[in-house]
């Protein structure tokens, strides 16, 4: 089994942090997205979408999408539970992961991919051949700011993102926010709950994975 990974990319990081929390070690293959290695024949033979991360099982089949890969390992290595352990907590983790992907990850990707010349005609991840739309970068900044405010408000009633304990939703949010800062959208100083939560989850050894 091996994980197709890129050390500096935020979605592969979600999987690495999750694996570190579970104490799972995997062989990895590094793919250079900036250099377009994910769009070359060799990688497309593994994952025709040309996106990362991808998990390849020993039987040759593949699983992509960071959340789906993490779910696979939640089933194979149930302890500690990172997708909730009751119907309600499982639903809360699912809800937050979807919100974070839609309202933070995609907008941060929109900022990067619609401004950086490396992504000219690559404004959508993978094999899409799509031109840049600068207005999407502006919209992305606004959406990320809205997400920051909403998560800060939510953290008034919960010490972690979903259901008051550390889960894959915290991992997803930490990776999304680090990515958003990388593209230039800082967490405003007045969002103190968000800053405190972020310091706490970023101090976990898994965050360095
Ligand atoms: N929803 C996907 C997003 C995958 C994605 O966009 N990955 C980026 C790296 S963070 C990628 O593969 N980019 C390829 C490219 O830029 O062409 C997931 O959760 O895995």
Domain boundary among 46, 76, 106: 76
pLDDT at 45: 98
**What atom in ligand 1 is closest to the CA of residue 6?**
9
Q: CB under 6 Å to ligand 1: residues?
A: 9-11, 33, 38, 50-53, 65-67, 122, 125-126
Domain boundary among 23, 42, 76: 76
Whole-prediction pTM value?
0.97
| Burial tier of 197 (Cβ tally within 10 Å: 0-12, 13-18, 19+) | buried
**CATH code at 55?**
3.40.30.10
Handedness of CA 150, 113, 208, 52 (dihedral sign): positive
Do 155 and 114 fall within a single domain?
yes
pLDDT at 128: 85
Q: Is residue 103 part of a domain?
A: yes
Do 94 and 152 fall within a single domain?
yes
Q: For 149, how many CA atoms within 13 A lie in the half-sphere containing its CB?
A: 6
Do 137 and 196 fall within a single domain?
yes
Name the pLDDT band for 49 (thresholds 50, 70, 90): very high
The H helix count followed by the E strand count for the chain is: 8, 4
Do 111 and 51 fall within a single domain?
no
Q: pLDDT, tens digit, for every residue of 63-117?
A: 999 999 999 999 999 999 999 999 999 999 999 999 999 999 999 999 999 999 9
**What atom in ligand 1 is closest to the CA of residue 39?**
17
Name the residue of 51, 63, 112 whose CB sits within 8 Å of the most ligand 1 atoms, as the mutation to test its pocket.
51
Do 65 and 107 fall within a single domain?
no
CA of 201 to the centre of ligand 1 (A): 23
Q: Into how many domains does the chain fold?
A: 2
* Domain ranges, residue 127: 87-208
Measured in residues, the chain has a length of: 209
Do 115 and 27 fall within a single domain?
no
**CATH code at 199?**
1.20.1050.10
Domain boundary among 10, 45, 76: 76
- The two beta strands, 27-30 and 54-56, are unpaired
Alpha helices for 23-160 (secondary structure H): 41-46, 66-76, 87-100, 106-113, 134-154
Q: Is residue 81 part of a domain?
A: no
**What atom in ligand 1 is closest to the CA of residue 36?**
17
Do 116 and 136 fall within a single domain?
yes
CA of 53 to the centre of ligand 1 (A): 7
Q: pLDDT, tens digit, for every residue of 114-168?
A: 999 999 999 999 998 899 999 999 999 999 999 999 999 999 999 999 989 999 9
**What atom in ligand 1 is closest to the CA of residue 179?**
10
């Amino acid at each position: 089994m091996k994980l197709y990974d890129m050390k500096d990319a935020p979605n592969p990081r979600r999987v690495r942090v999750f694996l570190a929390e579970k104490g799972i070690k995997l062989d990895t293959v590094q793919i250079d997205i900036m250099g377009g290695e994910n769009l070359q024949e060799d990688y497309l033979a593994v994952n025709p979408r040309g996106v990362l991360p991808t998990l390849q099982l020993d039987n040759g089949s593949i699983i992509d999408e960071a959340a789906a890969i993490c779910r696979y390992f939640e089933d194979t290595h149930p302890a500690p539970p990172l997708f909730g352990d009751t119907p309600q907590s499982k639903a809360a983790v699912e809800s937050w992961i979807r919100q974070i992907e839609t309202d933070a990850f995609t907008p941060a990707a929109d900022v990067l991919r619609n401004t950086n010349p490396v992504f000219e005609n690559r404004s959508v991840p993978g094999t899409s051949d799509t031109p840049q739309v600068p207005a999407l970068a502006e919209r992305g900044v606004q959406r990320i700011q809205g997400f920051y405010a909403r998560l800060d408000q939510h953290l008034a009633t919960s010490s972690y993102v979903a259901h008051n304990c550390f889960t894959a939703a915290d991992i997803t949010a930490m990776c999304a926010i680090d990515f958003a800062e990388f593209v230039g959208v800082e967490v405003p100083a007045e969002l103190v709950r968000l800053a405190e939560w972020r310091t706490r989850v970023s101090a976990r050894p898994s965050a360095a994975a």
